[in-house]
Amino acid sequence: MALHHDTRPADDVRVPAVPRGTAVIVTRYRAEVAKVALVNPEDLAMLEDAHDLIEAAGLVEPERLSPTALKTLRSEDRPDRRARVERAEDIAAILDL
């Protein structure tokens, strides 16, 4: 969900300056319940950019794996210590290449 910005003049709200890399958590009544979090504007921009990247990554369709790749992954999931193969010719034969 995109973050909605509600901008207010500094004269209407009294808050401390927040340095980069810091969040000021404001509580009321109970210390464990946050009422608001104040962050540096540059940190906010970074968090929004990260959110946009994560959202965009969810829209990317994964590449389909080839039959050879699937066979390799299945073999890798059930390794046989006696069948260690290091020669390219042997690997190609196992994968029917």
- Over the stretch 19-72, which tens digit does the pLDDT of each residue have? 999 999 989 888 888 888 899 999 999 999 999 898 888 888 888 998 888 887
Measuring CA to CA, which residue among 24, 25, 22 is closest to residue 35?
Answer: 25
The reported pTM is 0.52
Domain boundaries of the chain, sorted by first residue = 18-61, 63-97
Q: Are 73 and 64 in contact (CB under 8 A)?
A: no
Characterize 11-37 residue by residue with b for buried, 16 or more Cβ atoms within 10 angstroms of its Cβ, and e for exposed: eeeeeeebeeeeeeeeeeeeeeeeeee
Within 8 A by CB and 6+ apart from 68, the residues are 95, 96, 97
